[in-house]
Amino acid sequence: MKCGLIEKAERQFVDTIEKEAYVWCEKDWKHDDHEHVHNRAQLTFVEEGYQYFHIDRKIYLVPQYHVIWIPSGKAHKITSESKVVNLMVFLFKSVFEEDFYRNVQVFAVPPVLREMLLYASKWNKSLTENEEQDIFFKAILKSLPNFCRESTGLEIHVPTDIRLIPVCYEINSNFKYNLDIDLLAEKAQMSVRSLQRIFKNETGITLQKYLQLTRILKSIELIDTQQYTLSEVAYKVGYQSLSAFTASYFAVMKMKPKLNKNQRTSS
């Protein structure tokens, strides 16, 4: 049993629970290594650590104090190299009709929603009927579109054009350095102009934006290790100053980078 669902076969979960909605909290979450699907809509709140969700040829980053909404029946795989991952997973049998609920959503949790989610932990793994719980969970569900004012864009598209795979690999391996557009075009075996056009069509972002996202995602991983100051993180992911890193981080995450309380301050 995982999150109250029974895995009858690999990647397929059977829902025998009658409750309309329930919550499953886990400390030190352990990940499966395969894609799976279930027939409940899922809201995952990352209380500590970070996760990557692989959905529809996109990779979504869900860092600490963020949530991801996954519609019912949407296949997904979860990975993470975070030292510790603490999650709250809300599972809903039915949802409202708005478009919001039909698409994957990732957004930072505002203080009000965070308090609501933490309060809901009192019903952790409770599968018995409870009127207060039912009303409270429906209120959370109904409020989600209002809390998701703007997506933070924490997803990277995986290109389908195989010529772009070496390009992505080169950027992912050498994100610390500036783009060598001629080298990337050579690896794709196409002209610079064709590479830029096809990459944008395939991923929805430019090569430079892809590099920025890669750097910021890597910085989140480094911050999570609790081994480096922010200045050290900035240098390790390719920024020449803390201010440049902070500006880039803010542009993607809509918040400034910060260390956990027990980490060293930046220098």
Taking residue 221's Cβ as centre, other Cβ atoms within 10 Å add up to 17
Q: Write down the pLDDT at residue 62.
A: 87
Report residue 24's pLDDT band, with 50, 70 and 90 as the boundaries. very high
What are the start-end ranges of the H helices in the chain? 111-120, 131-147, 165-173, 181-188, 192-203, 207-224, 230-236, 242-253
Q: Mean pLDDT score of the chain, rounded to an integer?
A: 88
Q: Going by C-beta distance under 8 Å and a sequence separation of 6 or more, which residues neighbour residue 36? A: 7, 10, 11, 12, 13, 75, 76, 77
Q: Write down the pLDDT at residue 11.
A: 61
**What one-character DSSP code corresponds to residue 202?**
H
Q: Is 6 helix (H, G, I), strand (E, B) or coil?
A: strand
Q: Which residues lie across from 61 on neighbouring strands?
A: 52
What CATH number should be reported for the domain whose range is 159-253?
1.10.10.60
Q: Write down the pLDDT at residue 97.
A: 94
Per-domain residue ranges of the chain = 6-147, 159-253
Q: Are 36 and 2 in contact (CB under 8 A)?
A: no
Q: Are 50 and 224 in contact (CB under 8 A)?
A: yes
Q: Are 102 and 74 in contact (CB under 8 A)?
A: no
162-208: per-residue pLDDT in tens? 999 899 989 988 999 999 999 999 999 999 999 999 999 998 899 99
What CATH number should be reported for the domain whose range is 6-147?
2.60.120.280
How large is the C-alpha radius of gyration of the chain? Answer: 20
* Residue 116, both tokens: 């609501």
Report residue 261's pLDDT band, with 50, 70 and 90 as the boundaries. low
Angle between helical axes of 131-147 and 111-120 (0-180°, round to 10): 160
Q: Give the residue-averaged pLDDT of 62-88.
A: 88
